Amino acid sequence: MSGSRPHDCNADLHCHSNVSDGVLAPGALVERAIEQGVELFSLTDHDELAGQETAARAAQAQGLRYVGGVEVSVTWGGETVHVVGLQIDWHNAELDAGLARTRAGRDQRALEMAESLERVGIPDAYAGALRHVGNPALISRTHFARHLVETGVCSDINEVFRKYLVEGKPGYVEHRWAKLPEAIGWIRAAGGTAILAHPGRYRFNETELWALIDEFREAGGEAIEVVCGSHSRDQYGRFARIARDSGLKASRGSDFHAPGERHIELGRLPPLPASVVPVWADWVD
Ligand code: AMP
Ligand code: MN
Ligand code: MN
Ligand code: MN
């Protein structure tokens, strides 16, 4: 770790491998993180732990500090909310079983998404999405998005999500994920810290957001992402204030999925504002 303050550590505590909806294998991600100057790293695949051992071993072999991670899909207030778990024991049976239940409905949802796309003239999207899937247990909207870009239906991933795959658009299928206290409970059972991921992405008003944060804290949540790939500079400031006002620690993570996709790179984020306590402050020597 460079510098004396934890804020100076280049921590990237949110990204995805091909075990969920990223494109790089866990080992390749670790190499890329090192190339990009990351000093503290976590692979946080959606609802899945299968990349943890490989990532941890690759990091250890190359002297990169690694913490176990996961990003759990939750349904709260009728919206999908993501909770990142860090410093988890990826061998924990309760976490593993909870995630297995969370993953279970993905295949059926994917078939329904494909039917819905078929109705607007986009055939064979299930087979097309599967060609992008690295882990058959984890088919996601991102795989459909890559297929629609590859076949020229849209020019980039953002356009796919704008026109398809989100509520009210063809290709979107409502899905019930884990409950908030459940997800936090699994993370804590595995010795981990629960972090509310990319709060700026949710379509909540101020009252709803604070209700979410209150419930998150009551259930044992400890931190909130402040500097992350989904937030604008204004949102760094806003969520730093919210972290301070709510007594939550702050996290930092790129949410990197694929080289060149959405212009997000591992470790390439501003440091956390001085006003917040980094979630990793007492993890590093
Ligand atoms: P799923 O878990 O199958 O619902 O897929 C969610 C994933 O889709 C997220 O983790 C992101 O990687 C991606 N995603 C969601 N919304 C957007 C968006 N507006 N633009 C780009 N990617 C998105
Ligand atoms: Mn994703
Ligand atoms: Mn997310
Ligand atoms: Mn993510």
- So what's the pLDDT on residue 285? 60
Does the beta carbon of 158 sit less than 6 angstroms from any atom of ligand 1? yes
Measured from the Cα of 82, ligand 1's closest atom is: 10
Does the beta carbon of 143 sit less than 6 angstroms from any atom of ligand 1? no
Does the beta carbon of 141 sit less than 6 angstroms from any atom of ligand 1? yes
Mutational test site, ligand 1, from 82, 161, 164, 257, max ligand atoms within 8 Å of CB: 161
Q: How confident is the model at residue 152 (pLDDT cuts 50, 70, 90)?
A: very high
What's the whole-number mean pLDDT along residues 9-36? Answer: 98
pLDDT, tens digit, 9 for 90 and up, residues 24-77: 999 999 999 999 999 999 999 999 999 999 999 999 999 999 999 999 999 999
pLDDT, tens digit, 9 for 90 and up, residues 169-207: 999 999 999 999 999 999 999 999 999 999 999 999 999
- So what's the pLDDT on residue 104? 96
Examine the pLDDT at 144 and tell me if it is beyond 90: yes
Side-chain half-sphere CA neighbours of 26 within 13 A: 25
Q: Which residue, by CA, sits nearest to atom 16 of ligand 1?
A: 161
- So what's the pLDDT on residue 42? 99
pLDDT, tens digit, 9 for 90 and up, residues 82-131: 999 999 999 999 999 999 999 999 999 999 999 999 999 999 999 999 99
Q: How confident is the model at residue 219 (pLDDT cuts 50, 70, 90)?
A: very high
Taking the whole predicted model, whether its pTM rises above 0.75 is answered as yes
